[in-house]
């Protein structure tokens, strides 16, 4: 029985024991499609997050996808091209139920302007990372990653503690909205700027922001008080970061940590230039996209110059993966890449061991299923401090959005062990229903992005996109339920390729086999990708866990 969704009343949250499809595998994927819209930023337009990240190409495609999932058998595979279903073919019961390729444009044509032209013609849509793959779970999906970044900075620069430290950031959308809660969980006083009052209000309503300040002076006073008291807090401020960052710098204020998660990746449909209202930007998206792109880039130049000024003054400054440095450099900021990318700076030792953002969703809609899996996770990995610390914090601070879900950074073998244990819990009735397992596309073997995931690889292999393609083929061979290959759209066009996977723990022996092969091979490839690039952590992981890596040369 679906649960009413106060935020988006036309998009109820799926759940309950009743099947509409012919089996739980099909039903699971249908519920995940429904779920990404229930927690999306603009579901009326099928947009889940990141300005343009869509769950399906258009409503006709969405309707056809739903109808196909309802009628298809287990020995059939639904083929989706950029959010549009194009075929249902007989394969076999151990093949993926759904395979997708979203927004993959041939190299020389993979540019923002070509993407916009193709999108206007209705030929393509961008799936973001987890939007088009029906894997998005709301802001929780990136909260732990953001929290772990803040804690790595705490360990590296501040003695392991962010109490009494000031974080300045911007962006409160589907991804950036995780920042205020992650900062507060890390013990800091965090100020989050966003141009959209509705976004700030939403983050306050779900408890991510503690307060919204009426102006910059009040916001800074609230931060100063929390810093002096060494009290964790999260303050929102409605305004344009390209104006507010330079003003804070002009006042001589030096935050301890500075980053940004606005939609700077897209100069037309994402970023809002300073001096423009949201209504004016919406008009220019239709009437003057070229003018808007130029204005966005000019604002990003000011935005990044302020970030560089903070860095020069002593702040820990990093790029959070939104291409803001890339657009700033194109606009004339030659030293924009003096700002480091978060993956290389803080998380690469984890990724080299294929430790990354694993997630699971309780398809029953029952929060107790997640609580029971939390308990199982703590029982299985009592010595894993990343896991035990995170679960304690998540239980206390992280609300569910849509289907009850949890994220935890687990590595090779750990993901498989947990998923198989959960499959057994489904089989014996401990859980109220099946569970879907997935992960972020920002994972060890799953993404090639030379300005984010694979920036400054040891061997110079930053731009090689073979790895996510191999990952997708391997996952199909390993019987995953859903496999997807995504490339960048909008401002991300030409910058990245990634692979995604979903596997259903339905309590059956077949589910157990799919989980074991898919999750084990997914992380194995991740370890091998970093081993091939020469990372000692990966070579160590291969030796310890006897991964079938072939060393050449």
Q: Is 12 helix (H, G, I), strand (E, B) or coil?
A: coil
Q: Is 40 annotated as a binding residue?
A: no
Other CB atoms within 10 A of residue 385 CB? 9
Residue found by looking up tokens 């009290």 in the block:
231
The response to whether 15 counts as a known ligand-binding position is no
Report whether 262 belongs to an annotated binding site. Answer: yes
Report the alpha-carbon distance of residue 425 to residue 343 in Å, rounded: 35
Q: What is the DSSP string of 304-358?
A: HHHHHHHHHHT-EEEE-SSSHHHHHHHTT-TTGGGSEEHIIIIIHHHHTTT-EEE
Is 165 labelled a binding residue?
no
**478 annotated as ligand-binding:** no
- 504 in the Ramachandran plot: left (φ > 0), alpha (ψ -120 to 50) or beta? beta
66's CB contacts (< 8 A; 6+ apart) are 30, 33
Q: Is 264 annotated as a binding residue?
A: yes
Asked whether the beta carbons of 314 and 252 are under 8 A apart, the reply is no
Residue 81 labelled as part of a binding site? no
- Looking only at the bridges linking them, the beta strands covering 482-487 and 98-102 are parallel
Q: How far is CA 90 from the centre of its chain?
A: 33
Asked whether residue 333 is marked as a ligand-binding residue, the answer is no
Kind plus residue range of the DSSP H or E element containing 238: strand 233-238
CA gap 69, 1 in Å, rounded: 18
Instruction: Determine if residue 272 is labeled as part of a ligand binding site.
Output: yes
Tell me: is residue 265 an annotated ligand-binding position: yes
Cα–Cα distance, 169 to 245 (Å, whole number): 9
240 carries a ligand binding annotation: yes
Q: Distance of CA 419 to CAs 129, 410, 426, 502, Å?
A: 22, 11, 10, 12
Q: How far is CA 265 from CA 146, 251, 373, 404, 489, in A?
A: 18, 28, 36, 30, 9
> Is 263 labelled as part of a ligand binding site?
yes
> Which residue matches tokens 């062990």?
417
Closest CA to 203 of 183, 228, 223: 183
Q: Which three-class secondary structure string do you get for 397-451?
A: HCCCCCCCEEEEEECCCHHHHHHHHHHHHHHCCCCCCCEEEEECCCCCCCEECCC
3-state SS assignment for residue 218: helix
Q: Supply the angle between the helices 241-250 and 216-229 in degrees, to the nearest 10.
A: 60
Tokens of 490: 């909008």
CA dihedral 271, 277, 279, 281 (to 10 degrees): -40
Q: State the DSSP H helix or E strand holding residue 151, giving kind and residue range, or none if neither.
A: helix 140-157
In 3D space, the residue among 187, 219, 547, 218 whose CA is nearest the CA of residue 353 turns out to be 547
| Among candidate residues 81, 68, 183, the one with its CA nearest the CA of residue 125 | 81
3-state secondary structure 62-88: HHHHHHHHHHCCCCEEEEEECCEEEEE
> Residue 490, annotated ligand binder?
yes
Residue among 104, 102, 112, 110 nearest 132 (CA) = 102
Binding-site residues for NAD(+) sit at: 174-176, 194, 199, 240-241, 261-265, 271-272, 490
Instruction: List residues forming the annotated binding site.
Output: 174-176, 194, 199, 240-241, 261-265, 271-272, 490
């Amino acid at each position: 029985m679906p649960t009413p969704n106060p935020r988006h009343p036309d998009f109820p949250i799926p759940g309950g024991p009743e099947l509409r499809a012919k089996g739980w595998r099909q039903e699971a994927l249908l519920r995940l499609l429904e779920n990404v819209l229930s927690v999306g930023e603009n579901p009326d337009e099928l947009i889940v997050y990141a300005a343009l990240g869509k769950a399906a190409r258009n409503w006709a495609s969405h309707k056809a996808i739903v109808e196909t999932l309802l009628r298809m058998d287990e020995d059939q595979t639904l083929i989706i091209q950029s959010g549009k279903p194009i075929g249902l073919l007989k394969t076999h019961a151990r093949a993926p139920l759904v395979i997708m390729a979203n927004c993959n444009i041939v190299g020389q044509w993979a540019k923002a302007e070509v993407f916009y032209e193709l999108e206007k013609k209705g030929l393509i849509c961008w799936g973001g990372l987890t939007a088009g793959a029906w894997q998005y779970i709301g802001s929780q999906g990136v909260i732990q990653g953001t929290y772990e970044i803040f804690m790595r900075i705490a360990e590296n620069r501040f003695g392991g503690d962010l109490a009494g430290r000031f974080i300045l950031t911007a962006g409160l959308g589907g991804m950036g909205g995780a920042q205020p809660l992650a900062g507060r969980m890390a013990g800091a006083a965090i100020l989050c700027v966003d141009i959209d009052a509705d976004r700030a209000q939403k983050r306050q309503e779900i408890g991510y922001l503690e307060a919204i300040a009426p102006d910059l002076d009040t916001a800074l006073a609230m931060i100063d008080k929390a810093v002096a008291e060494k009290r964790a807090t999260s303050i929102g401020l409605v305004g344009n970061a390209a104006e507010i960052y330079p003003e804070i710098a002009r006042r001589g204020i030096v935050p301890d940590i500075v980053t940004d998660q606005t939609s700077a990746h897209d100069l037309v449909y994402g970023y809002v230039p300073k001096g423009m209202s949201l209504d004016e930007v919406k008009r220019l998206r239709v009437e003057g996209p070229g003018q808007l792109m130029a204005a966005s880039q000019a604002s990003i130049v000011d935005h990044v110059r302020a970030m560089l000024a903070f860095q020069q003054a002593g702040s820990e400054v990093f790029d959070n993966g939104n291409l803001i440095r890339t657009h700033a450099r194109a606009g004339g900021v030659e030293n924009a890449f003096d700002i480091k990318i978060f993956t290389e700076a803080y998380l690469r030792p984890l990724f080299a061991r294929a430790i990354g953002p694993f997630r699971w969703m309780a398809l029953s809609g029952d929060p107790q299923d997640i609580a029971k899996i939390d308990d199982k996770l703590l029982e299985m990995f009592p010595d894993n401090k990343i896991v035990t610390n995170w679960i304690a914090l998540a239980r206390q601070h992280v609300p569910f959005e849509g289907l009850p879900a949890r994220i935890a950074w687990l590595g090779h073998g750990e993901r498989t062990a947990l998923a198989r244990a959960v499959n057994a819990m489904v089989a014996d009735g401990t859980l109220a229903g099946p569970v879907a397992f997935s992960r972020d596309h920002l994972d060890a073997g799953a993404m090639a992005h030379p300005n984010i995931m694979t920036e400054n690889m040891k061997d110079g292999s930053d731009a090689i996109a073979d790895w996510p393609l191999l990952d997708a083929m391997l996952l199909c061979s390993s019987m995953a339920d859903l496999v997807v290959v995504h490339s960048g759209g909008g401002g991300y066009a030409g910058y990245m390729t990634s692979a995604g996977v979903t596997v259903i723990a339905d309590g059956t022996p077949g589910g157990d086999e799919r989980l074991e092969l898919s999750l084990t091979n997914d992380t194995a490839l991740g370890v091998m990708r970093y081993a091939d690039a020469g990372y000692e952590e990966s070579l160590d992981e291969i030796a310890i866990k006897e991964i079938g890596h072939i060393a050449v040369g």
